[in-house]
């Protein structure tokens, strides 16, 4: 796959044709989240399309909250959505709107439909409405209340608004066609009674419009030209158009649908993500294992990597599933150019250089990023006692093992060549200490006599090491499709018990003491890491692994190119 090639964008073609023919003079889109949860990587695709199309054609994009269900919505979600979109780098300027801004207009529109004989108050229960609706193969049947007079409907609807009835006692329905092959057109509910306070309007309203009624009207009120949404709303478009037509909206917005993002090993349902939080499978919406933008940010993903990912997967109308490895590839590509290379020992084993002076400390020059020479070098302290990774020493190594072993030499990165002379075990037979000698003439890693030393390992001075906790993250689910479950099971059975491994006794080079959230580091031979933002606020130094160094996607691409 050539990353420079972009998937054909049919939405772009539509917009260009509309501009060319004069159907529209200025592109105006919107991103309309419902504030009932945190945004996830699937929303990032929609954000990039909505804001990206406006940016490309010098148009406008609104941020509008579809806050029509006060029982599920919260200001916490509003704040998190605003933060996520800003983090991605998009700006709605002064065009921040809410569905609740238009409640009075929605009510007037509903009254207009009643006066036209196109809406009626129904006394059926929610269960009865479902029974009357019919099935995909059988038509529905009319409610016994469908032919109420306009005067009676106006009276009942006003009494609904005034709070005279209980939740679920009555609804307002559009009068369309109970035999329509499109289930959405079978007299859909457009208002219901919800005696619940709203996070913006308080107790002013006890009836709230349904999403399908409010959404096209919001677009119309805001003069949206291209209403872009995912494919699950394709069957709702005839209903949107019906409302706009019957309410005689001039220059109505047009809806276009694209395929939503599906990602392997990832759950995109906000309801199921909420269950993970509420059941303490994860610690919060921003848990680094979550596909939420706040979780990805806390894990160390960058806005550039996510925007590039959304750009490269393209826009189409075809259902597909993207390999999670491609998202990982995008963050590696970004961090490879930005992240400082540092030495961090996650499973420490002490090394003592017996012939090195006990009171001596030297400073070694270490490059910050070989991919970006302009970042220069830094000084790293070196002393007699060091820590190395435990798997960088083996008592009985296999063939072609070029790291530290008894009687063999290895190069300490940017320091000296050392030779293993002996080692110490505890009572359980575990190696707890390795004793070496060093070649004083080999500073910088080159042997003065030209002898070849094939292995190079990282190290941290024990005297100067910074203690830290490191968290290694993996997929939250064990299966590519988390919903691939047994007959009576659910997605919870596919939770990965090893999705988080916490390492408590890590030893880091001292330059990491001042690390802050938002900074990226490559722990040599281990992966890309960042400071955990929540723990940082508590005064704790904790690093999250963003992604390992192994790039399976790049290997797949190379194999097939």
Catalytic residues: 34, 260, 270
3 state SS of 520: strand
Question: Could you give the CA distance from residue 97 to residue 88 in angstroms, rounded to a whole number?
Answer: 19
Token representation of residue 158: 């006003």
Burial class (CB in 10 A: 0-12, 13-18, 19+), 534: middle
Which is it for strands 466-473 and 542-548: parallel, antiparallel or unpaired? parallel
Burial class (CB in 10 A: 0-12, 13-18, 19+), 343: buried
Token representation of residue 555: 């290997």
Q: How far is CA 470 from CA 297, 467, 544, in A?
A: 17, 10, 6
* Burial per residue of 29-48, b for 16 or more beta-carbon CB atoms within 10 angstroms, e otherwise: bbbbbbbbbbbbbbbbbbbb
Please enumerate in sequence order all residues whose Cβ is within 8 A of that of 187, keeping only pairs 6 or more positions apart, or say none: 122, 140, 143, 146, 173, 174, 175, 176, 177, 178
Whether 362 and 381 have beta carbons less than 8 Å apart is answered as: yes
Whether 80 and 40 have beta carbons less than 8 Å apart is answered as: no
Burial class (CB in 10 A: 0-12, 13-18, 19+), 473: buried
**Residue 292 DSSP symbol:** B
Question: Could you give the CA distance from residue 219 to residue 62 in angstroms, rounded to a whole number?
Answer: 10
Question: Could you give the CA distance from residue 526 to residue 472 in angstroms, rounded to a whole number?
Answer: 10
Question: Which is nearest to 484 in space by CA: 267, 222, 291?
Answer: 267
Widest pairwise Cα distance in the chain: 104
Question: Could you give the CA distance from residue 294 to residue 288 in angstroms, rounded to a whole number?
Answer: 8
Q: Which helix (H) or strand (E) holds 557?
A: helix 552-560
**Residue 131 DSSP symbol:** H
3 state SS of 199: coil
Q: In what order do the strands lie in the sheet with 28-31?
A: 28-31, 60-65, 96-98
Whether 206 and 163 have beta carbons less than 8 Å apart is answered as: yes
């Amino acid at each position: 796959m050539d990353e420079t090639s972009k998937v054909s964008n049919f939405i772009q073609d539509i917009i260009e044709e509309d501009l060319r023919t004069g159907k529209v003079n200025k592109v105006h889109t919107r991103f309309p989240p419902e504030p009932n949860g945190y945004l996830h990587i699937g929303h990032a695709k929609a954000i990039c399309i909505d804001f990206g199309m406006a940016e490309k054609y010098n148009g406008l994009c609104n941020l509008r909250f579809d806050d029509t269900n006060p029982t599920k919505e919260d200001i916490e979600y509003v704040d998190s959505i605003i933060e996520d979109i800003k983090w991605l780098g998009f700006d709605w300027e002064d065009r921040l709107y809410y569905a609740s801004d238009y409640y009075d207009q929605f009510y007037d529109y509903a009254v207009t439909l009643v006066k036209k004989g196109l809406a009626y108050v129904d006394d059926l229960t929610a269960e009865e409405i479902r029974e009357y609706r019919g099935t995909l193969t059988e038509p529905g049947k009319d409610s016994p209340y469908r032919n109420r007079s306009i005067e009676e409907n106006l009276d009942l609807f006003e009494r609904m608004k005034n709070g005279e009835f209980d939740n679920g006692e009555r609804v307002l329905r559009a009068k369309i066609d109970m035999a329509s092959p499109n289930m959405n057109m079978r007299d859909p509910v457009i208002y219901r009674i919800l005696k619940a306070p709203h996070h913006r309007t308080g107790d002013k309203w006890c009836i709230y419009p349904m999403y399908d009624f409010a959404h096209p009207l919001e677009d119309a009120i805001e003069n949206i030209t291209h209403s872009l949404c995912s494919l699950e709303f394709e069957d709702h478009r005839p209903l949107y158009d019906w409302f706009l037509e019957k309410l005689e909206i001039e220059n109505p917005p047009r809806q276009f649908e694209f395929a939503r993002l599906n990602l392997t090993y990832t759950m995109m349902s906000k309801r199921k993500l909420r269950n993970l939080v509420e059941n303490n499978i994860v610690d919060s919406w921003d848990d680094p294992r979550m596909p939420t933008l706040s979780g990805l940010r806390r894990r160390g993903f960058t806005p550039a990597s996510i925007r590039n990912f959304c750009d490269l997967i393209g826009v189409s109308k075809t259902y597909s599933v993207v390999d999670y490895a491609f998202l990982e590839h995008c963050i590696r590509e970004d961090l490879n150019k930005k992240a400082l290379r540092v030495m961090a020992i996650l499973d420490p084993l002490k090394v003592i250089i017996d012939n090195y002076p006990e009171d001596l400390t030297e400073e070694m020059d270490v490059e910050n990023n070989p991919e970006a020479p302009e970042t220069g070098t830094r000084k790293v302290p070196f002393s007699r006692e060091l820590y190395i990774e435990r798997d960088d020493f083996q008592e009985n190594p296999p063939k072609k093992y070029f790291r530290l072993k008894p009687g063999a030499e290895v190069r300490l990165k940017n320091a000296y060549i050392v030779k293993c002379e002996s080692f110490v075990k505890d009572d359980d037979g575990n190696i707890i200490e390795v004793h070496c000698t060093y070649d004083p003439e080999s500073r910088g890693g080159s042997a003065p006599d030209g002898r070849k030393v094939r292995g190079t390992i990282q190290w941290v001075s024990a005297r100067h090491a910074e203690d830290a906790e490191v968290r290694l993250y993996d997929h939250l689910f064990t299966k590519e499709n988390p919903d691939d479950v047994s007959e009576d099971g659910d997605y919870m059975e596919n939770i990965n018990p090893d999705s988080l491994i916490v390492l408590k006794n890590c030893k880091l080079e001292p330059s990491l003491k001042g690390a802050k959230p938002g900074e990226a580091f490559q722990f040599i031979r281990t992966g890309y890491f960042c400071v955990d933002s929540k723990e940082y606020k508590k005064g704790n130094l904790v690093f999250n692994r963003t992604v390992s160094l192994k790039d399976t996607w790049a290997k797949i691409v190379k194999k097939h190119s």
